[in-house]
Structure 1
Amino acid sequence: MSDIEKKWYVIKTISGQENKIKFYIENELINNGFKNEIGKILVPIEKIIKMRKGKRIYREKAYYPGYVMIEANLDGEALHAIRNVPGVITFLGEGKGTKSNPVPMRKEEISKMLGKMEDLSNSYKNINLSFVVGETIKVIDGPFNGFNGTIEKINEEKKKLELAVLIFGRKTPLELNFTQIEKI
């Protein structure tokens, strides 16, 4: 019975509880015999790096706080079962009242969302560091590991900066990622 057509829907949930609600939905649907009606249940996350007390802290956080994506066939009782899961507020695109059916996502939205999720889960992108032009920093990665340099330019969008490092008494320009340096 896996040939049932499944569509993607977005569920509005309590923010900060997305993974717990995903777990509840999975259990609710499997325990009540709706295993064939559901496909994937996703909580899009992004990996971030923060600096705290000079140390890098790698974290994951919800990319769409308060939302869970589900691939399902919501005909029949599966829709009712999901609505009754603790923490589920409503489906996106749903009209007022519980009689209307939620609107599935369009194919373009699905492919964009899945592609974005792939990008987010592959690399730590957001680095919350504050650097100032003229500040002296230490290189901690790459061929110039251990050298100190002075920041000359900051590119926040690309998460890169240009700095000048003294090598044999000469200023040498370098372009490094935010992850390759640390404050002194």
Structure 2
Amino acid sequence: MEDGEKWYVIYTRTGDELKVKRLIELLFSKLNKKPIRVLIPKRAIIERKGKKRVEKIKFLFPGYVFIKTNMCFEIYYEISKLPHFLKFLKDEMEPAEVRDDEIRIILSLVGDSDIVGFSTGIKIGGKVKIIDGPLKGFEGLIEKIDKRKGRVKVRLNVSGNANLVDLGIHIVEKIDNGEFNKLSEVS
């Protein structure tokens, strides 16, 4: 990471995130600035459509666009003039930097694809232990597990704002012969 480069959050209307991302990338190429990293974290979840289960990709933080840049007045001013821009998340008067520990968690959850995939948990007695996927090692963030929907509620903080988000999980249960049975596929 270059000196001075920090993560910031732009708030826009839900549904305008990808437009804002394209506009920021165009702006930086027009200003002949170093390419900017723009991140819109997404999540894979299962939804029911009638009796079928369908995998959907949804925004992890609707209305949030993360940017990594060396913030200065020129960049702040130019981004603020963009269409679909509502505001920066601020810390008093200035754009709030996303804390390193907060962005580190988000980046490790999304990996290289910008999508938080499914984790796999094993049911041991009354508890679920994460054995694979992006939530492995982040069990402390889990607030609630909904086995029927195949989702976990996770508390993620961004610039001091606590967000409770649903992430996808496949829960498996050990059967007598040592194999696993998927519970999240059972209604």
TM-score normalised per structure 2: 0.60
Q: Which has the larger radius of gyration?
A: 1
How many angstroms does 1:44 deviate by?
0.7
Superposed counterparts of 1:36-115, under 5 Å = 36=34, 38-95=35-92, 100-115=93-108
Is 1:121 the equivalent of 2:120? no
The structure-2 alpha-carbon separation of the partners of 1:51 and 1:76, relative to structure 1 and needing over 3 Å to count, comes to same
How many angstroms does 1:57 deviate by?
2.2
Report the number of matched residues: 142
Q: Distance in 2 between matches of 1:50 and 1:23?
A: 29
Give deviations 1:53-94, integer Å, cap 9, x for gaps.
Answer: 443322211001111110011213111111111111111124
Q: Distance in 2 between matches of 1:113 and 1:106?
A: 11
Q: Distance in 2 between matches of 1:88 and 1:103?
A: 16
How many angstroms does 1:104 deviate by?
1.3
Q: Distance in 1 between matches of 2:96 and 2:115?
A: 27
Percent of aligned positions with the same letter in both sequences? Answer: 28
The structure-2 alpha-carbon separation of the partners of 1:84 and 1:103, relative to structure 1 and needing over 3 Å to count, comes to same
Greater helix share, 1 or 2?
1
| 8 Å Cα contact 1:34-1:78 kept in structure 2 | no
Q: Distance in 2 between matches of 1:3 and 1:70?
A: 14
TM-score normalised per structure 1: 0.61
> 106-115 or 47-56: which moved more?
47-56
Alignment-mate amino acid for residue 110 of structure 1: I
The structure-2 alpha-carbon separation of the partners of 1:4 and 1:177, relative to structure 1 and needing over 3 Å to count, comes to same
| 8 Å Cα contact 2:42-2:116 kept in structure 1 | no
SS in 2 for 1:12: strand
The CA RMSD measured in Å over matched residues stands at: 3.6
Give deviations 1:116-175, integer Å, cap 9, x for gaps.
Answer: 2239825246xxxxxxxxxxxxxxxxxxxxxxxxxxxx972564376x9xxxxxxx9x85
Alignment-mate amino acid for residue 14 of structure 1: R
The structure-2 alpha-carbon separation of the partners of 1:160 and 1:106, relative to structure 1 and needing over 3 Å to count, comes to closer
**What residue ranges of structure 2 are gaps of 5+ in the alignment?**
120-144, 153-168
Alignment-mate amino acid for residue 117 of structure 2: S
SS in 2 for 1:35: coil
Match of 2:18 in 1: 19
| 8 Å Cα contact 2:40-2:64 kept in structure 1 | yes
| 8 Å Cα contact 1:160-1:175 kept in structure 2 | no
**What residue ranges of structure 1 are gaps of 5+ in the alignment?**
126-153, 165-171
Greater strand share, 1 or 2?
2
